[in-house]
Amino acid sequence: MSIDRPSGDVVLSVRDLEVSFATRRGRADVVRGLDYDLRRGETLALVGESGSGKSVSTMALTKLIPIPPGRVTGTAMLDGQDLIAMSERDLLAVRGRRIGFVFQDPMTSLNPVHPIGRQLTEGMRHHLGISESDARDRAVDLLRKVGIPAAEKRLDDYPHQFSGGMRQRVVIAIGLSCDPQVLIADEATTALDVTTQAQIIELVNQLQDELGMAVIWITHDLGVVAGIADRVMVMYAGEIVEEADVDELFADPRHPYTVGLLKSLPVLGAFDRDELAAIPGLPPAPTDLPAGCAFHPRCAYRDDERCVSERPPLREVGGDAGSGHRIRSFYEVAEDDRRAAATAGIAAPEHREEDAS
Amino acid sequence: MARYVALRIGQSLLALLGVSIIVFALMHLVPGDPVRSALGTRFTPELYAALVERAGLDRPILVQYFDWLGRAVTGDLGVSFRTGQPVALALGQRVGPTALLAFGALIVGLLIALPAGIVSAVKQGKAPDYAANTFSQIGVSLPDFWFGILLILVFARMLGWLPPGGYASFADDPAAALRYLLLPAVTAGVVTGAILTRFVRSSMLEALNAEHVRLARAKGLPWRYVLRHHVLRNAWIPIITVTGLQLGTLLGGIIVVEIVFSWPGIGRLALDAVQTRDYPVLQGAVLLVAAVFLLLNLLVDLVYARLDPRIRVGAST
Ligand SMILES: Nc1ncnc2c1ncn2[C@@H]1O[C@H](COP(=O)(O)OP(=O)(O)OP(=O)(O)O)[C@@H](O)[C@H]1O
Ligand code: SF4
Ligand SMILES: [Mg+2]
């Protein structure tokens, strides 16, 4: 459970986060014991297949999931305050103020009946208690910052008057509007075309340098991860199965699932259900998780004892102690397989070179 | 927007022209001689000839149509076969009561549907939702005439609180007018309310589940604010549309209600016209109802356009 790294600059510290939903088919264990620290200025990528619990685990931090049927336990310390224990009232002061959000679909995450200026200012007015005209001035600054041309003329335009990429810039401006310590971007570029995607990623990188906030970047796309993240957490069936610095993860993956993901990469540079040729089978339903290691039905490395009966712990692996490279598996992938996956991973992501700049 | 308005008005006029053709054809499609059958036992050759001449039935059909249309546009809808009274006048006397009843029924419907629909959506899957669903299920399948008679039995015959039927004008005696209005308005309003409840609920649910509501919540805005500015504000648009369209359906239901409650409206007039084969009156009534229906649709669309910036402000990118 302990993470042996300096913790002085930790902004958000999550321990044993569990989220379940009461469903008609029984209890769905969607997030099962997440532990991680997010540091100032850091970008942590959360990757995993659809349904692995990426969105729910981050939404649950400020209880943006329906409760009930949802249930959240564990702790999430933001500046010494536990978000999970907070009242709804106190959480209102966290959402949008200390934690900003950007969601996937810029076509739907803006309200079509209000001008974008209003959608930018309402949060600022609420949290910062500033006047309408001050809020509008700030909104213009923000829109400039996210690269919207002629910002002051566009405040009273409606979302449908912007292109998808421009809308996502507006959504990012909303996420940044109250200077949050943490920005959670949930598939923020998934709905955009490749060029726009690259622009948005660059924008977020640049804003992060400028503003020093920490970012949790949720994505399906390992290519995007290489371009934006400092550290990566791979999720499977509600658990972290591997966590490492981004270069280490691509160069030296250790968990059978991660290796499978990286091997499936060269096909398109992104992974979707049908591209997961390298990993046979499907992820389990959260209402019906297998005993032992949740990945065992699909794992080529499993033994037929511990893997099927005992839940593997999250443990440190790799050369340098304290590198924070962790996997949740009894076994590590063999050396030559790792190398094959690493080559595939390095060859594939399109944003890899940009990362160096 | 101006273009859109012009377009919609043009469409409505075209539709009205179509209706006029059907209404005109009505007279000529009925088997036999409409004037003869309308006169029935009052038949005399002189009266017959006078009516035929008056209705222009002895001329070529196209000439008759354009003639009729030309006069209809100026408000001359011919004379009643039965009473010899100008049709426009007969309709004019009946418009007020029907409008009053429709308005009353709509108010009753909205008083039911708005709270029931909103609460059931916000409390989805909980007791209030089930209660509202049960109500609308029953309400939708309630036959108006049966429900009207039930209300008469209970509130007029058994309890004696309200008159079983009839009409008083608001101008003469507002209190009496309200007493006469209550039962028929509730009869027509409950069914409308039941139908509208479903629409209000589904528009609300759609608005509640919209992605922008999630973002609004993620901004840390209080729930009441989100509900008002990001849910209700969006749900209004379909609700207003459907309410307007429902008014058209309501007019249909009102005909039945007028008959049950001896309400002197257009519906009653049309029914009498059918029974006595008074075709000019029937034509006039159908034309009027169709025109009102089209006008309502037009208004609904214009209000919708006004509320939805995607139509009001054309896309520029
Ligand atoms: N309100 C809910 N009730 C029941 N189950 C839910 C609810 N919300 C989410 N889940 C379940 O939680 C699981 C994780 O969902 P989540 O949205 O976090 O996945 P994800 O990793 O973000 O996937 P994607 O990549 O598709 O966005 C899914 O199996 C989903 O069905
Ligand atoms: S614990 Fe066993 S089944 Fe699970 S990933 Fe490791 S080797 Fe595979
Ligand atoms: Mg998701």
Nearest to A158 by CA among B219, B217, B310, B230: B310
Nearest to A47 by CA among A216, A275, A205, A289: A216
pLDDT, position B48: 79
The minimum CA-CA distance between A3 and chain B, rounded to whole Å, is 29
Those residues of chain B whose CB sits closer than 8 Å to some CB in chain A are 210-212, 214-222, 225, 229-230, 233-234, 237, 307-310, 313, 315-317
Arithmetic mean of pLDDT, B79-89: 85
User: Chunked in runs of 10, what are the mean pLDDT values of chain A (357 residues)?
Assistant: 55 94 90 92 91 93 88 91 92 93 86 92 91 91 86 90 88 89 89 79 84 90 84 94 91 89 62 56 89 90 88 84 85 78 54 36
Residue type, B225: Y
Q: What does the CA dihedral B251, B256, B258, B264 come to, rounded to 10 degrees?
A: 80
* Contact between B257 and B144 (Cβ < 8 Å): yes
Q: What is the pLDDT of residues B31-74, one digit of tens each?
A: 667 677 677 777 788 877 877 777 677 777 788 888 888 888 88
Query: For a substitution probing ligand 1, which of A27, A30, A216 has the most ligand atoms within 8 Å of its CB?
Result: A30
| Domain ranges within chain A, ordered by starting residue | 8-235, 253-267+276-356
Q: What is the pLDDT of residues B137-171, one digit of tens each?
A: 888 888 888 888 888 888 888 888 888 888 888 88
Query: For a substitution probing ligand 2, which of A236, A295, A332 has the most ligand atoms within 8 Å of its CB?
Result: A295
pLDDT, position A3: 44
pLDDT, position B124: 83
Looking at ligand 2, which residue's alpha carbon is closest to its atom 6?
Answer: A329
pLDDT, position A275: 45
CA A229/CA A220 separation, integer angstroms: 13
A202 CB-contact burial (10 Å; exposed 0-12 / middle 13-18 / buried 19+): middle
Both tokens of A210, joined, read 């400028």
> Relative to the alpha carbon of A296, which ligand is closest?
2
Q: Where are the alpha helices (DSSP H) in chain A?
A: 54-59, 88-92, 116-128, 132-145, 151-154, 164-176, 194-211, 222-228, 246-251, 256-264, 306-309, 335-347, 352-356
To 5 degrees, how large is the angle CA B206–CA A57–CA A211? 95
For chain B, the straight-line distance linking the first and the last C-alpha, in angstroms and rounded, comes to 17
A214 DSSP β-pair partners: A182
CA A54/CA A57 separation, integer angstroms: 5
CA atoms within 13 A of residue A46's CA, in its CB half-sphere: 29
C-alpha A280 – ligand 3 centre gap (Å): 22
Q: What does the CA dihedral B27, B29, B32, B33 come to, rounded to 10 degrees?
A: 20
Chain A residues in contact with B232 (beta carbon < 8 A): none
CA B148/CA B156 separation, integer angstroms: 11
* Contact between B267 and B259 (Cβ < 8 Å): yes
Residue type, A92: L
Both tokens of B317, joined, read 């990118």
Q: What does the CA dihedral A299, A305, A310, A313 come to, rounded to 10 degrees?
A: -60
Question: Which fold does the domain B97-266+290-304 belong to in CATH?
Answer: MetI-like fold (1.10.3720)
Chain B residues in contact with A93 (beta carbon < 8 A): 220
Residue A352's Cα: distance from chain center in Å? 18
DSSP secondary-structure letter at A319?
A: S
Ion ligand 3 contact residues with beta carbon within 5 A: A 55
Q: What is the pLDDT of residues B258-292, one digit of tens each?
A: 988 888 989 888 888 888 878 888 888 888 888 88
| Domain ranges within chain B, ordered by starting residue | 97-266+290-304
CA A332/CA A318 separation, integer angstroms: 10
Beta strand A214-219 with A43-47: parallel, antiparallel or unpaired? parallel
- What is the homologous superfamily of the domain A8-235 according to CATH? P-loop containing nucleotide triphosphate hydrolases (3.40.50.300)
Block residue for tokens 């309502």: B296
Chain A residues in contact with B214 (beta carbon < 8 A): 64, 103, 109
Both tokens of A151, joined, read 């910002």
Q: Is A36 on the interface with B (CB under 8 A)?
A: no
